[in-house]
Structure 1
């Protein structure tokens, strides 16, 4: 691959709208691969994440002693570690296999906020242009969403939110990048998609005018289940985000519009200055939590197996009940079908009897018509004979008439000189 191929890294904290953003980019012509994670109940319209990329990220985090929901910073020098080198090779092979020859493609996984250097290095080694779109969402909405889905406390998620965003900003400082908020995407995607193209120096194919109907059908406001503008529970339940996060989110929205990334540098400096203070305690808390979880896991292993067996038996029983219900339903349907066929057969038998009676009437009528035709043919023959006789009589009458006329003329010529009127009345000349 070469610079003619451009990769968009979609970076954003979990539940920040990265799935919606990636699908929009995909509808605008960005290839996302074919091996995608299947949709789930918490993201019914799809995650639009490359399944193997997610697997690579999880293996790397596990090798580094971390997880996707770990609020701690990544270990220093992780990219140069053996696990990092292995993951880099896997990413490069994935790109070569699944993205080769694509003019524009995108990859998305919230873990990439922390692992972006892995992808940027792999892209540079392959001569592919790397660009990034950072997706942000109000930290309260993100924390509320993760609390419902995974049970994490708001405070835990707030720390994750800051880590993901600031590490993504740090990793993309040297490549073309743009920023878009979840609210902007839902509110006026056309304007902000155009802005992203301008800031990244790319073109969409197909453009928004052609992809618009599909994007409009995909981006529906009802998918936004946690809206800070409609929440009145923050203060009451102590869920309100720290002021630092509120200010950082507001600065991100401003930066998305004017691309003044310098205003975000100060937030990174402030966060990094205090990160060392709680890094140690965070390690201790996380280690203690992991040990407690391991002990609980070992103690509850047998119970878990029994619970799983009970659950399996329940599933099998439910399946058997469903099968029996299906068989009963099928039997009822078959019986009803038999009744329908019996009724249809009775109707057909009745119709056949009526048809046979009608057919008999028609055959009898045909015989009658044939007899009438025979009589008519006889009459026609007799009429033809009478007509011939009549013509013969007419010819004889004509001959007789002609003969009578000629005899009368001959007789008239003989008698004419003897007419008395001529011999008696003529005067005597003297």
Structure 2
């Protein structure tokens, strides 16, 4: 495991980083714990589990905080609820320099001593051009592991935590703006797509798939850890919602349906990552999503306005009572 003194003493950061990305409620936490079995260092400052993820999030707290700060700098909610798309020229904003310095320093401190390390942080996929610049500046070899889950199952899972965000139409839009805009950047690097249902049903097989795609050695120690992950960590009872690639097509946003079918095909090894039809159609999906950018921005505005008015309403509701209590105390 990571040791702060070891990382602090690192002279550089040249190495291999494996980044777990995917839409919310898609099994990224379970998958991140899984890649740890492949000998990938996650650090020793991980966000603990909650009722949302009882077994842990497996997110480095420092990188998580920096990524949320970057979301806020772009005017995005740290929860992942924002829908607006980031325009191309925004990636040249001056304020990114400060964030770049903070993130590179954190990576050098936390992981500079490790030749093979990884992380996941909610929303990294949303800000992937920034992170790609970070990795390039640090001279890192980069691989990605993409968690894929049927959008219907994502919405059902999300609804247990937030009824409004779990509405299928809203959940599909959140899924799209997280997954679609920068998935094409995977073409630059080794990557593997892992289906959540398959990971839960056959964890050892899926981790070996990832190791093969990323050219990671399957030593006897790694095999032992893979088996331990499948036998001791995976708990099928935590898998409450399943989906099928062709299920409920009439209820899905057509773009989410099309994008997920490609991810599912990759996760099932039905197509190769270099399949030209995949990337041609993904460009079409991305273009159609960006054609919605003004509407997506307006939805954010309306949601912010509703939240603001609700907050004002609560303040007005409790203000008279607070005043009465203050007056009574003064008496």
Instruction: Tell me the CA shift for residue 144 of structure 1.
Output: 0.9
Distance of 1:134 and 1:159 partners within structure 2: 18
Aligned to 1:251: 262
| Residue 16 of structure 2 is aligned to residue 6 of structure 1 | yes
| Residue 96 of structure 2 is aligned to residue 81 of structure 1 | no
Instruction: Tell me the CA shift for residue 122 of structure 1.
Output: 1.3
Equivalent pairs counted in the alignment come to 302
Bigger RCO of structures 1 and 2 (CA < 8 A, at least 6 apart) = 2
Aligned to 1:109: 121
CA-atom RMSD in angstroms: 2.6
Instruction: Tell me the CA shift for residue 210 of structure 1.
Output: 4.3
SS at match of 1:9: strand
SS at match of 1:281: helix
Note the residue ranges of structure 1 that are not aligned, 5 or more in a row. 309-430
Aligned to 2:279: 265
Aligned to 2:294: 280
Aligned to 1:358: none
Note the 1:96-135 alignment, pairs <5 A. Answer: 96-135=108-147
Contact 2:180 2:286 in 1 (8 A): no
| Residue 202 of structure 2 is aligned to residue 202 of structure 1 | no
Distance of 1:156 and 1:224 partners within structure 2: 22
Aligned to 1:293: 307
Aligned in 2, Cα 1:289/1:251: closer, same or farther, shift over 3 Å? closer
Aligned to 1:224: 239
Note the 1:331-350 alignment, pairs <5 A. Answer: none
SS at match of 2:292: helix
Q: Which is further off, 163-172 or 111-120?
A: 163-172
Distance of 2:102 and 2:96 partners within structure 1: 10
Q: Please identify the structure whose Cα radius of gyration is greater.
A: 1
Aligned to 2:173: 159
Aligned to 2:106: 94
TM-score by length of 1: 0.64
Instruction: Tell me the CA shift for residue 276 of structure 1.
Output: 4.2
Contact 2:148 2:195 in 1 (8 A): yes
Q: Which is further off, 16-25 or 165-174?
A: 165-174
Distance of 1:129 and 1:186 partners within structure 2: 29
Aligned in 2, Cα 1:264/1:164: closer, same or farther, shift over 3 Å? farther
Q: Which is further off, 144-153 or 212-221?
A: 212-221
Contact 2:22 2:28 in 1 (8 A): yes
Contact 2:85 2:290 in 1 (8 A): no
Aligned in 2, Cα 1:49/1:204: closer, same or farther, shift over 3 Å? farther
Aligned to 2:4: none
Distance of 1:251 and 1:159 partners within structure 2: 17
Q: Deviations over 1:24-77 (max 9, x none)?
A: 111332111222112110210001111222211221111211222112212333
Contact 1:9 1:107 in 2 (8 A): yes
SS at match of 1:292: helix
Distance of 2:161 and 2:112 partners within structure 1: 36
Aligned to 2:329: none
Match of 1:149 among 131, 155, 161: 161
